[in-house]
């Protein structure tokens, strides 16, 4: 059986410095470079990567030359606060969950938790001027900025 070679490219949004990591589907290179076992877990490393040349912490990530995470337009999962890939957003427009496992977790939680509160009209725009979203965290429902993680504006509901 022939191994399918793939590449992850991490490109700095500031200086365009880039790093390419090649791997096969059954390769340890993913774990050695990123400490993840599956490509679907790539969103777990987005906030920890930084450019070694200019020290900027906002890289764009490409998989096989396709943009996966665009730092200027990150949409964040309402369940785990990790970024949602562009491919998932294309296939499921309007989704607010990053993976099928988050969907399953939300389904389980929804049987236990009350429905999320509606967003009050006066709370739609945060201090930074961006849209606020209703999110669930370890302390319950809250408002969070749609531009998270670049803006960490939150408010209790």
Length in residues, the chain:
157
Question: Which residue carries 């340890």 as its tokens?
Answer: 28
Q: From the centroid of its chain, how far is CA 139?
A: 21
* Structure tokens given for 67: 């943009």
Question: Which residue carries 């679907």 as its tokens?
Answer: 40
Q: What is the pLDDT of residue 144?
A: 86
Q: What is the pLDDT of residue 67?
A: 92
Q: Is 84 exposed, middle or buried (0-12, 13-18, 19+ CB in 10 A)?
A: buried
Q: What is the pLDDT of residue 98?
A: 85
Question: Which residue carries 């049987």 as its tokens?
Answer: 111
Residue 144's nearest CA partner among 44, 73, 75, 58 is 75
| 85-136: pLDDT as tens digits | 998 888 888 888 888 788 877 776 666 556 667 766 666 777 788 888 888 7
Supply the Cα-derived Rg of the chain in whole angstroms.
17
**Where are the chain's structural domains?**
113-157
| 56-79: pLDDT as tens digits | 887 889 998 899 988 888 888 888
For the entire predicted model, the pTM comes to 0.61
Report whether 75 contacts 84 (CB < 8 A). Answer: yes
């Amino acid at each position: 059986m022939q191994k399918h070679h793939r590449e992850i490219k991490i490109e700095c949004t500031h200086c365009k410095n880039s790093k390419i990591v090649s791997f096969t589907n059954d390769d340890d290179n993913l774990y050695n470079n990123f400490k993840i076992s599956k490509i679907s877990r790539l969103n777990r490393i987005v906030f920890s990567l930084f450019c070694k040349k200019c020290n900027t912490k906002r890289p764009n990530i490409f998989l096989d030359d396709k943009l996966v995470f665009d730092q200027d337009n990150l949409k964040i999962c309402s369940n785990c606060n990790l970024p949602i890939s562009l491919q998932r957003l294309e296939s499921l427009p309007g989704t607010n969950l990053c993976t099928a496992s988050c969907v399953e977790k939300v389904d389980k939680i929804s049987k236990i938790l009350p429905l999320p509160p509606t967003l009050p009209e006066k709370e739609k725009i945060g201090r930074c001027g961006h849209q606020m979203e209703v999110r669930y965290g370890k302390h319950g429902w809250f408002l969070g900025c749609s531009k998270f993680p670049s803006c960490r504006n939150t408010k209790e509901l």
